[in-house]
Amino acid sequence: MQITSIVAIYALFWVMSAFLLLPFGVRTADEAGVEKVPGQADSAPVNFRPGKLAFRATIFAAVLCALFVANYSQGWVTVDDINIFGTPPGYEPADG
């Protein structure tokens, strides 16, 4: 696998991780006991820290990317392992 492919896969994992981790550790004004700003949505976060989110997403994405690259090179889980529908009728593989 080329390094550019690994970087692209890491970037995809990072974005996915950031969105996955976004709701964790965030509290609303009601939960924090802070008075809301006029016009503020009830669900708006009080203590949003993008740096902390980016750090967590970086670590999580690095682990996921490392597992993906290791699986790619070692072949632990292949397409044949997750094919739950079986081979379609009349299908013949191209290699033989």
| pTM (two decimals) | 0.78
Question: For residue 78, with 0-12 CB atoms within 10 Å meaning exposed, 13-18 middle and 19 or more buried, which class applies?
Answer: exposed
Examine the pLDDT at 37 and tell me if it is beyond 60.
yes
Domain boundary assignment for the chain: 3-76
Question: CA-CA distance, 24 to 15, in Å (whole number)?
Answer: 15
Lowest-pLDDT choice from 13-17, 18-22, 30-34, 60-64: 30-34
For the segment 57-87, what is each residue's pLDDT rounded down to a tens digit? 999 999 999 999 999 999 999 888 888 888 8
For the segment 44-62, what is each residue's pLDDT rounded down to a tens digit? 899 889 999 999 999 999 9
